[in-house]
Amino acid sequence: MAEKHPAYRIAFDIGGTFTDFAMLDTDSGTIEIFKTLTTPDDPTRGSLTGVRALLERTGSEASAVRNVIHGTTLVTNALIERKGAKVALLTTEGFRDTLVTREEARYDIYDLALRFPEPLVPRYLRRGVAERTDHHGRVLKPVDPDDVARVVERIRAEDAKDREHAGATEPLHSLAISFLHSYRNPANEQETARIVRELWPEVDISVSSDVAPEIREYERTSTTVANAYVRPITKHYLGSLAQALRELGYRGRLYLMLSSGGIATVETATEYPVRLIESGPAGGAIGAAFIGRTCGAADLIAFDMGGTTAKICLIQDGAPSIAHHLEVARVHRFKKGSGLPIQFPSVDMIEIGAGGGSIAWINELGLLKVGPTSAGADPGPACYGQGGREPTVTDAALVLGYLDAGTFLGGEMALDRDAAVRAIEEKVATPLGISLTEAAWGIHQLVVENMAAAAKIHIIERGRDPRQYALLASGGAGPIHAAGVARLLKQDRIIYPLAAGVLSAIGFLVAPVSFEFSQSDPRLVRVTDWSAVNDLLQDLEQQGRTVVAESGVAPEGISVTRRADARFAGQINEISIDLPAGVLDEHSQDVILAEFTKAYRDLYGHVLDGVPVEIVTWRVVSTGTLSEVRPARQPATGEPPVPQAHRPVYWFETGSYVDTAVYDRYRLAAGATVSGPAVVEERESTVLVPPGSTGVVDEYRNLLVTTAPEGAPA
C-alpha cells in the first residue's frame, strides 16, 4: 500500500495588531495555530513568516498544502485612509452630485458642525452621460456613442491637467459607471462600458449592474465607486501574495474570505473587492457559529475582541445574521449615517473601538476615556517594550494580574510590567488622584461597560433578549473581558474555545465557498408575474453556481438558498425572508405572506392589517464545501487539573487582589473542572474564571463556564 502523505489547509487573518494563522490536517482534524505581530509596512512579509513557521512545525513542504484562505483589512484600510486608486464616475446626466446629496438626511440633527466623508471621486471627474431608463426598466433614451466618447475625452483631459498641475505621474486608471434605474435594465450601462473599453482599453471598469444591481441610487453608486476605488490595489496585493506563495512552493489555489461569511477565489475577489471589507470579522463569526454547534449552543452572542476593535454578532440557529447594508470610513466612527454606505451581503455585527491596544486618556472634563485610538502593533501598548508610552487596555490587564509578563504569547514575547505601571500612573492615576490599582481597574471596567452597552443595543434592536443567549469569547483580548461583559448582560453561560485568539483564522477553514447574487425588481406579492420571477431566480442561481463551481466545488455539491427583501408597500426599509423551494406560482403567495408576517411580528411586535406586501429585492445564495472539517475529540481522563502557578489577581467580586490559581490550557483534559477564581492561560489568549463561577472542559476542549448568579457570594 502506498504511503499516505498529509494534506493541509492554511488560513491567516491579518489584523491591526496581530496576524493569526491556523493550519488544518485534513486527515486527523487537528489544527496547528500561530500568531505573530502584523507587519504594516508589508503585510505579505508577516504572512509568509507565519506560513513558514507552521510548515516547520509539522515538517511539511508547501506542496502538501491543498489550499490557502486569507482574510485582509486591505480594502477597509484603503477606504478609511483614502489610499485607493484615482477613480472617475460616469452617471446619468443631471445626477453627477448624487455622492454629495446622499440621502438628504442628517445623522445627528443636533450637530451644527455636521460633516460627511468626502466623495471618493472629485467633482471634476464625475460626468453625466445623456441617457435615461425609467423605474420600470424601459429605455427612454439610449446611449449615444459619440456622447460617451466626448465625456471620456473630457475626463482624460481633466486628469491630464490635474497631473500636470500636481506633478503626479500616475494616470487615472479606474472608472465607475452607475446609471439611474440600471438595476431594472442594465442595457445602457453595459453599452457604455463596451464603448469605454474600446476607447480606453487600459482603464479598469466597475459597473453598478454587475457590482450591486439593487434599488437606492445613492447606495448603489457609492458601492460601485468604492469597488472601483479599491480594485487596482486589490489586484496588485493579491497578485503579489499569490506570487510569494508560489515562490514558497505552494501549488494550490488562494481563496479570500468574503464579508458574507463565505470564501471565493482570487479571481472573484478581485472582481468584487468591496465584498472583502469585513472579511476578518466575518471569519470570527463563522468560527463562533462552528464552535457553538459543536457544543450544542446554536444561539449565542459572538464576542471577538482583538488589539484594535471588538466585534459583536448574533448567532441564531447555528448561523450568523446577515445584513445587506453597512458603512465604512465614518467621519464619526460609531455614528450611523456618517460613513460611506456599501450595499452587499455582510455578517451583521457591531464594531466598538475597544481592543487590547485601545489607549486610555483623560478628556477636557477630567473624565477617564478609553479608545477609540489604538496603539496598534507599532509601537503597541507600553508593556510591549517597543517605545509605546500611552496606557492601554493590555497594560491595565497586566497590572491587574490578568496577564503574566513571562508567559504572554507562550513566553515568546516578554512584557514590561514596569513600563505599564509608569504609563498608567503618569497618564491616568496621577492626573485623577487615584491609586494605580484604581486606575487600572477603571480602564478595564470602562472598556467592559462600553462593550456591554453596545452589545445590548445591538441585540435589543433585533428584538432579542441577551439573557437567552450564551456568550462565546474570542480574539486575543476577548476571553479576558468576557466575564465582565456577561455579568452586565446578565448572561450565565460563557464559551471559551481552544485557540480563541485565532478564531477568525479557524473560521476561514470551516467557511463554505459561497456567493450571493441579487436583483432588485419590486413587485406586489398578490399581483406578481411569477413566470418572470422564476426566470430571474433561475438566472441568479446559474450565476451563483458558476462562481462556486469555479472555486473547485463539484456541481452536485452546490446547494442554493433563496431569500427576498420584503416590506409593506409604502415603507422605506425591508426585512429579509426565506422563499419557498421550487417553482413559485400563485399558490406560493400565502406561504410568502405568512413568512413575512411572522418575521415582521417577531421584529416589531405587530403587523399592518390590510396593507399589501411588496418584495423589493430577490436574492440567491449558492454554497458548496471544499472539504469537511471534523474537530478532533478528546476522551475524558478523569484527571483533576493541577495549577501551574499562583499569582495575585484583582477581582470585581472581591474588590481586591486574591492569590489565584493559574492553569495551563493545554494541560486541561476533557472533563476537567476549574473552579473560580482561576486564570487559564494559552499562547494566544487568557481566560478569567471569576470567583463563584465554574468551568468544565468538553470533549472538543472548549471551556464552558457557568457564572455565579448576580449577588451570589463569591
pLDDT tens track for 105-127:
888 888 888 888 899 999 999 99
pLDDT given for residue 377 in this prediction: 67
All three cell numbers of 169:
505621474
Start-end of H helices in 249-364: 266-271, 279-294
Task: Taking residues 41-47, report their average pLDDT.
Answer: 80
Burial 231-254 (b: 16+ CB within 10 A, else e): bbbbbebbeebbeebeeeebebbb
Task: Taking residues 631-653, report their average pLDDT.
Answer: 87
Dihedral of the alpha carbons of 259, 263, 267, 273, in degrees to the nearest 10: 10
**High-pLDDT (> 90) share of the chain, %:** 56
Task: Taking residues 399-415, report their average pLDDT.
Answer: 83
Distance CA 355, CA 343 (A): 27
pLDDT given for residue 98 in this prediction: 94
Task: Taking residues 353-375, report their average pLDDT.
Answer: 86
Give the count of beta carbons closer than 10 Å to the beta carbon of residue 601: 12
Residue 2 has pLDDT above 60, yes or no: no
**More confident: 44 or 259:** 259
Per the prediction, the chain carries an average pLDDT of 89
DSSP 121: S
- Identify which of 408-417, 451-460, 556-565 has the greatest average pLDDT: 556-565
DSSP 68: E
Distance CA 128, CA 126 (A): 7
Tell me the longest C-alpha to C-alpha distance in the chain.
81
pLDDT given for residue 205 in this prediction: 96
pLDDT given for residue 1 in this prediction: 39
Task: Taking residues 466-470, report their average pLDDT.
Answer: 92
Distance CA 104, CA 121 (A): 19
Distance CA 471, CA 463 (A): 17
Which backbone phi and psi does 290 adopt, to 5 degrees?
-65, -45
Task: Taking residues 673-681, report their average pLDDT.
Answer: 93
Angle subtended by helix axes 417-424 and 436-460, to nearest 10: 80
Find where cell 496576524 sits.
19
**More confident: 279 or 185:** 185
Residue 17: which pLDDT band, with cuts at 50, 70 and 90? low
Task: Taking residues 442-464, report their average pLDDT.
Answer: 90
Distance CA 70, CA 105 (A): 37
pLDDT given for residue 342 in this prediction: 92
Residue 709: which pLDDT band, with cuts at 50, 70 and 90? low
Burial 653-678 (b: 16+ CB within 10 A, else e): beeeebebbbbebeebbbbbebebbb
Residue 420: which pLDDT band, with cuts at 50, 70 and 90? very high
580 CB contacts (<8 Å, ≥6 apart)? 588, 591, 592
pLDDT given for residue 223 in this prediction: 96
- Nearest residue to 336 (alpha-carbon basis) of 327, 348, 349, 345: 327
pLDDT given for residue 333 in this prediction: 63
Residue 4 has pLDDT above 60, yes or no: no
pLDDT given for residue 408 in this prediction: 78
Give the count of beta carbons closer than 10 Å to the beta carbon of residue 557: 15
Check: CB of residue 631 under 8 Å from CB of residue 621: no
pLDDT given for residue 462 in this prediction: 83
pLDDT given for residue 168 in this prediction: 61
pTM: 0.87
- Nearest residue to 672 (alpha-carbon basis) of 655, 692, 650, 697: 697
Task: Taking residues 544-561, report their average pLDDT.
Answer: 92
- Measured distance between the N- and C-terminal CA atoms of the chain, rounded to whole angstroms: 60
Task: Taking residues 157-184, report their average pLDDT.
Answer: 85
Which backbone phi and psi does 704 adopt, to 5 degrees?
-100, 115
DSSP 625: -
pLDDT tens across 198-233, in order?
999 999 999 999 999 999 999 999 999 999 999 999
468 by Cβ neighbours in 10 Å (0-12 / 13-18 / 19+) ranks as: exposed
pLDDT given for residue 56 in this prediction: 86
Distance CA 386, CA 283 (A): 29
Residue 714: which pLDDT band, with cuts at 50, 70 and 90? very low
pLDDT tens across 610-626, in order?
999 999 999 999 999 87
Distance CA 33, CA 10 (A): 10
Residue 75: which pLDDT band, with cuts at 50, 70 and 90? confident
pLDDT given for residue 217 in this prediction: 94
pLDDT given for residue 279 in this prediction: 85
pLDDT tens across 331-343, in order?
776 678 888 999 9
Cα distances from 379 to residues 261, 362, 383, in angstroms, run 32, 20, 10
Cα distances from 634 to residues 27, 30, 34, 133, 206, in angstroms, run 16, 11, 21, 62, 50
Residue 713: which pLDDT band, with cuts at 50, 70 and 90? very low
pLDDT given for residue 710 in this prediction: 56
Task: Taking residues 318-339, report their average pLDDT.
Answer: 82
Task: Taking residues 483-504, report their average pLDDT.
Answer: 91
Residue 385 has pLDDT above 90, yes or no: no
Q: Which domains does the chain have, with CATH numbers?
A: 8-78+237-276 (3.30.420.40), 84-226 (3.40.50), 358-445 (no CATH), 514-624 (no CATH)
Distance CA 643, CA 338 (A): 50
Lowest-confidence region among 36-40, 237-241, 477-481? 36-40
- Kind plus residue range of the DSSP H or E element containing 248: helix 217-248
pLDDT given for residue 16 in this prediction: 66
Task: Taking residues 636-657, report their average pLDDT.
Answer: 90
Task: Taking residues 519-545, report their average pLDDT.
Answer: 95
Distance CA 395, CA 384 (A): 9
Residue 6 has pLDDT above 70, yes or no: no
- Kind plus residue range of the DSSP H or E element containing 509: helix 503-510
Task: Taking residues 305-317, report their average pLDDT.
Answer: 86
